[in-house]
Amino acid sequence: MAPLDLTGMFGVTGSYLVYIGIGFCFGFILESSGFGDSRRLAAQFYFSELRVLKVMFTAIVVAMLLVFWASALGLLDYDELMVKHTWLWPGIVGGLIMGVGFILGGYCPGTSLVSTATLKIDGMFFLFGHIVGVLAFGETVGYFYEFWNSSYLGRFTLPELFGLETGVVVLLVVCLALAMFLGFGWIQRLVYGRGDPQ
């Protein structure tokens, strides 16, 4: 049953190639979807183009459905998956800072890699800033180490939070995504009188 034992199956070098391959597909899709262009990413926050929302939530929904179908069929052990652990407040504060960084800088970390790879100078400046930012974090985290490790809830999932069956939560997430596609699209037509440009 999956997840597979990568190193056991392909050796260390083989597992490295698998990761480069997964990254290759990831980067290829990001660039092909227009995510190497900061203007199209920032446009999300003005409702003039909703690519970020559409790509992200379609990806989340598709991956979520596949993960839970595969688990239901006994092909995949959900308990063995690395579900990001929750440190609630550091995550929320970090997220807010990143939202500000996103609208000022025009990229997120992954998209700046793709932008840099296609020689966009703004992407390179962003990536350079990103490197400065992570180094600054390493130098300053000592001052708020306690906060950084606070509100730790472990491997905590939405079904546990709401006390609902996983299937119900999966269905709710699908509904949320559809509602956001419709709602954001409605605002977009209200403001610009059109949908996404090609």
Site for other proteins in 65-124 (CB under 8 A): 66-67, 70, 76, 78, 80-88, 90-123
Residue type, 26: F
Q: Which of 8, 11, 14, 21 binds other proteins (CB under 8 A)?
A: 21
> Which residues, including other chains, have CB under 8 Å from residue 178's CB and lie 6 or more apart?
none
Nearer to other proteins, 24 or 186 (CB): 24
Residues 6+ apart with CB under 8 A from 138: none
> Which helix H or strand E contains 83, and what residues bound it?
none
Q: How far is the CB of 79 from other proteins (least distance, A)?
A: 11
Residues in the chain: 198
Tell which one of 148, 174, 185, 192 touches other proteins (CB under 8 A).
Answer: 148
Question: How many residues interact with other proteins (rule CB under 8 A)?
Answer: 128
Near other proteins by CB under 8 A: residue from 11, 14, 39, 189: 39
Q: Which of 132, 168, 175, 178 binds other proteins (CB under 8 A)?
A: 132
Q: How far is the CB of 11 from other proteins (least distance, A)?
A: 14
Task: Tell me which residue of 26, 78, 68 sits closest to 170, measured CA to CA.
Answer: 68
Q: How far is the CB of 144 from other proteins (least distance, A)?
A: 9
Here's the x/- map for other proteins, 155-194, by CB under 8 A: it reads as xxxxxxx----x--xx--x---------------------
Measured CA to CA, the distance from residue 101 to residue 91 in angstroms comes to 15
Q: Which two tokens stand for residue 55?
A: 């790509």
Q: How far apart are CA 3 and CA 22, in angstroms?
A: 15
